[in-house]
Structure 1
Amino acid sequence: MKRLKAYLAAAGLGVLGLLATASAGAADLLDDVKQRGSLRIALEGTYPPFNFRDEQGKLTGFDVEIAEALAGKLGVKPEFTTTEWSGILAGLQAGKYDVIVNQVAATEARRKTFDFSEPYVVSSPQLIVRANETRPLRSAADLKGKKIGVGQGSNYAELARGIEGAEVKVYPSAPEYLQDLASGRIDVALNDSLLIPYLAQKTRLPVKAGAPLGTVESNAIPFRKGNPAFKQAIDKALADLKADGSFAKISAKWFGRDVSKPPVAP
């Protein structure tokens, strides 16, 4: 009996050793990306100026150019997938793509499921109102009884649901709720503060910047947990883009300033 117990114990230790070896030898996402020769990138494709299709149908925008530059630093080609925001995180978890480059807030709740790169954009939530709006819509208290348009599954939707007495309407993407805002179907919209200057310059929608709401937050690039080599590589690629001036150049093209740094108060 003692010999049997000793044998079983040894066998158990052997299995544990094999599992540990297998775990230690598990391929990192960086190995997959390098072997494939491409970085699979998900974004909405309907979120200007971050990512959208131009008049020729070509995918463009700030996030697109940053993603292309990151892939270049990794020595691979960018491979884009466009999908609605409502399912984009689930797709990442299912392994349909490697990263999301789409202004994803690195919240504590999301960090429980995904790992994130270092932040690459600093921004804050901001209300969007009609150009002829005269009501004092400046705080959560002012929004009681009002209809707020937000993107489905976004952190802005979570913020809006916390406003007492407000009616929250969710949409697949920004164009839909901005159109409803312009036509008066909702009272305000809530989105990234960086979106407002683009709307003012590039669209004909009768909307304008409203009051800031909430706190300054950082956006980063999420990917599946357990890929330390990939995280190190993506962080280094971001750092290199900032060091060689590429990031600042792309940022200035779309926003007129370096969005990796907090805005300077006027």
Structure 2
Amino acid sequence: MKSSITIALFASLLAVGSAARAADLLDEVKARGTLRIACEGTYPPFNYKDEKGKLTGFDVEVAEAIAAKLGVKPEFTTTEWSGILAGLQAGKYDVIVNQVAATDQRRQTFDFSGPYVISYPQLIVRANETRKLDTPADLKGKKIGVGQGSNFAELAKSIEGAEVRTYPGAPEYLQDLASGRIDVAINDSLLIPYLREKTKLPIKAGAPIGKPDSNAIPFRKGSPKFKAAIDKALDDMKADGSYAKISAKWFERDVSKAPAGR
């Protein structure tokens, strides 16, 4: 009798513990009153610190708007790209808003929102570059700089005969590009106009390379209410014009849609 009661009690406790672990992320976020958001903080114009040290950028404003739609406050963490996905998996934050491509491999570990940015990989070259560096064949034997662990790194590694060098973030490899230590870099096409406008580095946009990417917001698996809430927040932003306003501020167009000709 005692044995049966003990077993039943143990099973009940396991069920309660399992239910607690399976709580939807939306319930946790609402109870906490904050949405914990990770980004690099060194990736202009998406997310970076301005001259006063304040975190700003397109992704930051999108994340702040999503938090407002959820009725909670945004709480930001900045971390290097190389460890940002591992931090999400470890539960250090709820979401990453940092131009994360929703690849099949990443979907094995995380759930994703619907796409909120459509862009494509693009080469970055020195301003005085005269060599033909347009196709993967042109890049054979060349040094390519990319962010460690990024989808651009995977693209670069697929280019036959290229020497791929990985860096913690864009500032490091763009500096090496400008100084001639690498031949080209690869990054998001949306980054190039900002760099041309805001930095003094002698670099320019090169040729598009690879296929367009749909970037989305990753979070832990098994939270359907949270996914629905994030998707609704993004849809509402697009419907009420707030997304278009943020997008136009940073890119002069609606980046939720593919650019003409792509």
Given the alignment, which residue of 104, 126, 133 partners 1:137? 133
Given the alignment, which residue of 220, 228, 231 partners 2:227? 231
Aligned to 1:172: 168
Given the alignment, which residue of 214, 220, 238 partners 1:218? 214
Report the TM-score, using the length of structure 1 for normalisation: 0.92
Gaps of 5+ in 2: none
Deviation of 1:200 (Å): 1.1
SS at match of 1:252: helix
Aligned to 1:70: 66
Q: Please tell me the residue identity of whatever aligns with 1:219.
A: N
Given the alignment, which residue of 23, 30, 34 partners 1:34? 30
Tell me if 1:110 matches 2:106: yes
Aligned to 1:4: none
Aligned to 1:248: 244
SS at match of 1:263: coil
SS at match of 1:262: coil
Q: Please tell me the residue identity of whatever aligns with 2:175.
A: Q
Given the alignment, which residue of 140, 145, 148 partners 2:144? 148
Given the alignment, which residue of 188, 191, 198 partners 2:194? 198
Return the alpha-carbon distance in structure 2 between the equivalents of residues 214 and 35 of structure 1. 42
Return the alpha-carbon distance in structure 1 between the equivalents of residues 121 and 8 of structure 2. 53
Given the alignment, which residue of 29, 48, 52 partners 1:52? 48
Return the alpha-carbon distance in structure 1 between the equivalents of residues 181 and 126 of structure 2. 11
SS at match of 2:43: coil
Deviation of 1:20 (Å): 6.4
SS at match of 1:81: strand
Aligned to 1:189: 185
Return the alpha-carbon distance in structure 1 between the equivalents of residues 193 and 15 of structure 2. 52
Gaps of 5+ in 1: 1-6
Q: Please tell me the residue identity of whatever aligns with 1:90.
A: A
Aligned to 1:3: none
Tell me if 1:123 matches 2:113: no
Query: Deviations along 1:214-256, whole A, 9 cap, x unmatched?
Result: 0011000000001111001001011111110000000000000
**Structure 1 vs Structure 2: percent identity of aligned residues?**
78
Aligned to 1:96: 92
Deviation of 1:19 (Å): 5.9
Provide the aligned C-alpha RMSD in A. 1.9
SS at match of 2:29: helix
